[in-house]
Amino acid sequence: MLSELIEASEVTVIRGGTLVDGTGSAPVDDAVVVVSGSKITAVGSSSEIHIPNRARIIDAVGKTVMPGLIDAHLHVGGWRTDNPLIENLVVPDGVKLLRAGMDAALLLDAGYTTVKDCSGIGAVYIKRAIAEGTLRGPRILAAGYDLTQTFGHGDVFHFLPIETTEARNAHGKWGIFPLICDGVEECMKAARYTLREGADFVKIHTSGGIMSERDRPEHTQFTLEEIAAIVKVAQNAGTFVTAHCQSTEGMRISIEGGVKTIDHAFYPDDEVIEAGKKRNVVFVSTLSIMKRMNDGGVQAGYPEWSVRKSREAWSAVVKNIAKIYRSGATLAAGTDFVGSKLLRLGENALELELLVEHCGLSPMDAIVSATQNGAKACCMEDRIGTLEKGKLADIAIIDGDPLKDIKILQQRERIQMVMKEGSVCIERDRIN
């Protein structure tokens, strides 16, 4: 029980709302969440929790109290058009960096308190500015430079000389230029390089994809030996590896090589899913980018061939994400949004709607995919993702019941309050 002597400025109590704690447990009516400093010190029903004297009270009656949301795969890239050539080869990097700072605030406004940025060195700078209080935004885990083989999914500008598109030789441009590496030694050095530049984890490409013109999602990239070498470098630095991976074989060798998350996960078979479950791998869905591209990608400016590949894959992808979910494997929600008009940051809760509508998740399980499971995709499940005693106080108060209508989470005006590490960042309702 908290001491009665704790100063009022140190304790905040959220009371009266319906608690959805992120674990998948049944909602708790008339709940109380006690926050001291940056952490949750008590949570439960009002009959169980003592409210300290002189605490600041936030009235959540009639509202839902839940963890801050987590997007397990996006890019705080500062895009404004949906033309990859313009954004990566024409727009100055300084302009994109300033845009990205604005986009980070949009994510926080939408209830996202943590995001996993899966390539783009700019996110390394944005996360530092947020951490020091210069910018408003969610907690960012940044991959920095991603790793790809020659003629891999990350090596997309085949019409340019390769020496000008490799990140270490790109004359200061960061865009989406990757670290191109082949063979165990090059892969280990590239992994060490991105960590040196400030990456929190290592992102690799182990299959082809939608946005690379001359390969397909079914293709496999990197060898098992290369993947295992990169994973070893990451583990030695106390971190993990995320794989862009859509092919069956690519997923198989990624899991065998020790990768922590399989992002996109288009074509898993039963063997892949079972291997992922056995090794506690997190599968990350990114239906949102596909849905937006399928509906309006050509008109927005994406190449015809990329939209065609996305449309071809859609029915299989939603079926396979549903299969991953039904298997009991860990499924986290991502979007692959980049900040453009079609893929605007702040609209990320679309992923939850799509998981419910197309993959059979309940609204509760969709919320778990963007809270508890999102934290697992960031290897931060001991600190964030659920409203439990001892966790960081990343909390959102929602006007309405997302368990009845998951689309509520896409309505920014319904996000009444956002707290990150115990500090109220967004407040759209009166605080008592």
Query: For 156-194, how does the pLDDT look when each residue is reduced to its tens digit (9 = 90+)?
Result: 887 777 877 788 876 545 556 899 999 999 999 999 999
What are the beta bridge partners of residue 282? Answer: 261, 330
Distance from the Cα of residue 217 to its chain's centroid: 21
Phi, psi angle pair for 40, to nearest 5°: -80, 130
Supply the mean pLDDT for the chain: 94
Rounded to whole angstroms, the Cα distance separating 411 from 349 reads 9
**pLDDT tens readout for residues 352-387:** 999 999 999 999 999 999 999 999 999 999 999 999
* Numbered ranges of CATH 2.30.40.10 in the chain: 8-67+387-427
164 vs 310 pLDDT, higher one:
310
Instruction: From 178, 170, 249, select the one nearest 211 (Cα to Cα).
Output: 178
- Those residues whose C-beta lies under 8 Å from the C-beta of residue 188, and which sit 6 or more positions away, are 229, 230, 232, 233
Where along the chain do the CATH 3.20.20.140 domains lie?
69-377
pLDDT score recorded for residue 9: 53
pLDDT at 7: 46
Domain range 69-377, CATH class: alpha beta
| pLDDT tens, position by position, 69-103 | 999 999 999 999 999 889 988 999 899 999 999 99
Question: Rounded to two decimals, what is the model's pTM?
Answer: 0.96
Tokens standing for residue 143 = 């991959």
Per-position DSSP letters for 417-429, written without gaps between them:
EEEETTEEEEE-S
For residue range 239-269, what is the model confidence (pLDDT) as tens digits?
999 999 999 999 999 999 999 999 999 999 9
- Position 335: which residue type? T
Confidence of residue 432 (pLDDT cuts 50, 70, 90): very low
Percent of the chain exceeding pLDDT 70 equals 95
3-state SS of 335-356 is CCCCCCCCCCCCCCCHHHHHHH
What is residue 199's predicted lDDT score, i.e. its pLDDT? 97
Which one-letter DSSP state was computed for residue 153? T
User: What pLDDT score does 170 carry?
Assistant: 61
CATH architecture for segment(s) 8-67+387-427:
Roll (2.30)
